[in-house]
Amino acid sequence: MKKKEIIVPIYLKEGQAVEGWLEQTPCGTGDPVAFALSCDHAGADALLVFDLSEGDEEHDRSIALIREMARATDIPVYGGGNIRRVEDVKKLLYAGCRRVFLNYEKEGNVALTEEVSKRFGKEKILACVRESGALARAKENETFLGGVVLPEAVLSEAVSAGFDEVLCVCKKTEEAREADARERICSLAGADGVTGICARDFMEPEYPLMELKHTLKSRGVPVNLFESSLSWEEIRTNGDGLLPVVVQDYRTQEVLMVAYMNREAFETTVATGRMTYFSRSRQELWVKGLTSGHFQYVKELRIDCDNDTLLAKVAQVGAACHTGNRSCFYRAILKKEYDETNPLKVFEDVFAVIEDRKLHPKEGSYTNYLFDKGIDKILKKVGEEATEIVIAAKNPDPEEIKYEISDFLYHVMVLMAQKGVSWADITEELARR
């Protein structure tokens, strides 16, 4: 059975997050990117971003914010609002939206459905409806839609109509954490035909999304939770009943720290998604970051061949080390010089030199010569080097093409620096594809 999504809504207006369908009360942190990241860490499965902006300039600011949210988080972003033409759908998808919803209260959006569906893929296009008439129009265009986004007022009609994907947006309750409010959300999430639940209650600071998911699971509703394929009994602990854990940054693979878990720490980590350890000095459970705010959010747990050491890949907030350093392993006590061969590290190191040349010009530098000549010269060189690759590819000797590709990549990095694009931007875009 497909797992149901727990989705947090974000409303954008005038370049900031606002609360409500058309209200202008600042929401949560006020910073939509920080808020989006906190939702990711809290256990949200997706973000539903409503662009309530007016005019092209304000719309462009919202697109920029959506792009930042998509880059900052690992969960899907579904975006919509202020769509008037195919180009607006393209902008949202290029900004990183996994799916785009069309406002089916507007005839112009309805008219775009077939074209954007065929161009970008049916699975990327949703209809956003608020009343029965719009729902009927969505049903007529169901062939070109991946699903519908709707309020609970028309939920029963949508379920009866047999839509494959129904994302229900709940109205806000007065007390988001009260038992009756939670019960109402659980009831809607568990309804047949609902594939995702999006509640404005989830916008409350530190809303317990993981707790909600555990409640849903206990009621037989399939949701996305951490589940270990290995039980604690299958793990081999040391003489003190503890499991050593090597902690690694999930993006950079940098080793951050080493700590220990007992059974309770392990099971708490799996249940909450936050790294929890057992402090040997204090002889108590220790949630990393509870005091400092430097939490570690689980991305992956791996066990070694002997089942006696855990490798935790995490999203680290702030510093992992109590000294304030990013990693506990910040001191080298012995080192032999060697060439770095990690591809991304090499690219980042070369790119860092190029960016440094841009900020601190060096006389006689070819890189600075390109920056001084400007974008047209840089583009000319990129084109020339691309042609050199084509010519080299006809040569059976691979050495020549290695040289030409390296030349090409260097000039592409100069172009990236000129346009403000980083390797992180490129790798994230490739990963999304």
Domain 5-218 classified CATH 3.20.20.70? yes
**Residue type, position 259, single letter:** A
Give the pLDDT confidence score for residue 100 in this predicted structure: 98
**pLDDT band for position 24 (cuts 50, 70, 90):** very low
Residue position matching structure tokens 């008037």: 84
Q: Write down the pLDDT at residue 47.
A: 97
CB 168 within 8 A of CB 159: no
Residue 298 has pLDDT above 90, yes or no: yes
What is the reported pLDDT for 345?
81
Give the pLDDT score at 387.
Answer: 96
Residue 300 and residue 275 in contact, taking contact as beta carbons nearer than 8 Å:
no
Can you give the pLDDT at residue 26? Answer: 39
Alpha-carbon separation of residue 402 from 7, 37, 345, 384, 395 (angstroms): 46, 40, 18, 16, 11
DSSP-derived letter for residue 274 is B
Which residues on neighbouring strands pair with residue 126, listed in sequence order?
A: 101, 147
Range with lowest mean pLDDT among 320-324, 412-416, 424-428: 424-428
pLDDT of the residue at 21: 36
Pick the CATH number of 343-432 from 1.10.287.1080, 3.10.20.30, 1.10.579.10, 2.40.30.170: 1.10.287.1080
Per-domain boundaries in the chain: 5-218, 232-316, 343-432
Q: Give the whole-angstrom CA distance, residue 257 versus residue 254.
A: 9
- Beta-carbon contacts of 353 under 8 Å, excluding residues fewer than 6 positions away, are 367
Q: For residue range 232-283, what is the model confidence (pLDDT) as tens digits?
A: 999 999 999 999 999 999 988 999 999 999 999 999 999 999 999 999 999 9
pLDDT of 30 strictly over 70: no
Inform me whether the pLDDT recorded for 19 exceeds 50. yes
The band of 103, judged by pLDDT with boundaries at 50, 70 and 90, is very high
Encode pLDDT of 108-152 as tens digits.
999 999 999 999 999 999 999 999 999 999 999 999 999 999 998
Tens-digit pLDDT profile for residues 167-204: 999 877 666 567 788 898 999 999 999 999 999 889 88
Residue 396: is its pLDDT beyond 90?
A: no
Query: Which whole number is the average pLDDT over 384-388?
Result: 96
> Taking the CA of residue 375 as centre, how many other CA atoms within 13 Å lie in the half-sphere pointing to its CB?
4
pLDDT of 212 above 70: yes
**pLDDT attached to residue 31:** 81
The arrangement of secondary structure in 232-316, i.e. its CATH architecture, is Roll (3.10)
pLDDT band with cut points at 50, 70 and 90 for residue 20: very low
CA 126 to chain CA centroid, Å, is: 20
Cβ-Cβ contacts under 8 Å for 154 (sequence gap 6 or more) = 129, 130, 131, 132, 135
